[in-house]
């Protein structure tokens, strides 16, 4: 996936700017103001749109695998991914960005995500263990992409959104790794470091 970007934002200043930008009209006092939203940078816009479809990609893979290999982990995490999709959609609406999501399962506007979905489905179609490893791979990728999005974000609300998604992805990774452990298998991280992976799953 795309490389990480170094991080440090002036959070306190962003909080003040966001608060000022969202101050409601004080009609009762005879004052008027227009509620505004500080525009996103091009990078922030692109990543927010991408995250909406990346969450759909995860959901669609888990729904598909649950049809092949019925397992509570796929079923429950697919529900969680839908909540993640909904959370990102709220931010798209707030910043008046076009939603790239297509309703059909396994169909994506971003051709990179389309290709990734196809590859992951093929990789996990051989067995339940293979499918669970794909689940780990998706969360591995997602965590690193979310970190990159957080590194780029200068809007506090996006930082909060991405941290929420990050917490969920870490929980998902632990769930998939635990399911593999029950089956006597394990996952080797492909995107994050081994040290980061071990810290997330508690080794």
Q: What's the mean pLDDT when you consider all of the chain?
A: 86
Is 3 part of any domain? no
CATH number of the domain that residue 154 is part of: 1.20.1260.10
Is 4 part of any domain? no
- Do 50 and 143 lie in one domain? The reply is yes
The answer to whether 146 touches 51, Cβ cutoff 8 Å, is: yes
Is 170 part of any domain? yes
SS3 for 155? coil
Query: pLDDT (tens digit, 9 = 90+) per residue, 103-137?
Result: 999 999 999 999 999 999 999 999 999 999 999 99
Q: What is the pLDDT of residue 38?
A: 86
Q: How far apart are CA 40 and CA 43, in angstroms?
A: 8
More confidently predicted of 56 and 35: 56
- Do 54 and 138 lie in one domain? The reply is yes
- Do 117 and 195 lie in one domain? The reply is yes
Q: How many domains does the chain have?
A: 2
Confirm whether pTM is higher than 0.85.
no
- Do 73 and 106 lie in one domain? The reply is yes
Half-sphere exposure (CA, 13 Å, Cβ side) for 20?
7
* Structural domain range at position 45: 40-201
- Do 99 and 21 lie in one domain? The reply is no
Is 2 part of any domain? no
- Do 50 and 117 lie in one domain? The reply is yes
- Do 34 and 117 lie in one domain? The reply is no
Is 1 part of any domain? no
- Do 25 and 47 lie in one domain? The reply is no
Q: What is the pLDDT of residue 157?
A: 96
Is 65 part of any domain? yes
- Do 102 and 159 lie in one domain? The reply is yes
Alpha carbon of 127 to those of 21, 31, 69, 167, 194: distances in Å?
52, 65, 8, 28, 25
Q: How far apart are CA 94 and CA 77, in angstroms?
A: 26
Is 126 part of any domain? yes
DSSP class of 162: H
- Do 141 and 101 lie in one domain? The reply is yes
Query: pLDDT (tens digit, 9 = 90+) per residue, 139-196?
Result: 999 999 999 999 999 999 999 999 999 999 999 999 999 999 999 999 999 999 999 9
CA angle 157, 81, 201 (to 5 degrees): 90
Mean pLDDT of the 87-111 span: 97
Is 113 part of any domain? yes
The dihedrals phi and psi of 160, each to the nearest 5 degrees, come to -65, -45
- Do 17 and 66 lie in one domain? The reply is no
The answer to whether 148 touches 47, Cβ cutoff 8 Å, is: yes
């Amino acid at each position: 996936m795309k490389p990480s970007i170094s991080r440090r934002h002036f959070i306190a200043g962003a909080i003040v700017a966001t608060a000022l930008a969202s101050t409601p009209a004080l009609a009762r006092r005879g004052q008027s103001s227009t509620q505004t939203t500080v525009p996103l940078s091009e990078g922030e816009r692109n990543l927010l749109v991408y995250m909406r479809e990346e969450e759909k990609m995860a959901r669609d893979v888990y729904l598909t695998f649950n049809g092949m290999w019925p397992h509570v982990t796929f079923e429950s995490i697919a529900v969680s991914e839908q909540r993640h999709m909904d959370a990102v959609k709220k931010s798209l609406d707030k910043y008046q960005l076009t939603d790239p999501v297509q309703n059909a399962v396994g169909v994506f506007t971003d051709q990179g995500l389309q290709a990734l979905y196809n590859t992951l489905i093929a990789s996990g179609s051989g067995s339940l263990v293979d499918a669970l490893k794909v689940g780990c791979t998706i969360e591995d990728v997602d965590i690193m992409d979310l970190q990159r999005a957080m590194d780029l974000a200068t809007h506090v609300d996006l930082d909060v959104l991405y941290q929420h998604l990050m917490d969920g992805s870490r929980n998902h990774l632990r769930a998939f790794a635990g399911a593999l452990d029950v089956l006597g298998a394990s996952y080797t991280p492909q995107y994050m470091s081994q040290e980061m992976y071990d810290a997330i799953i508690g080794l």
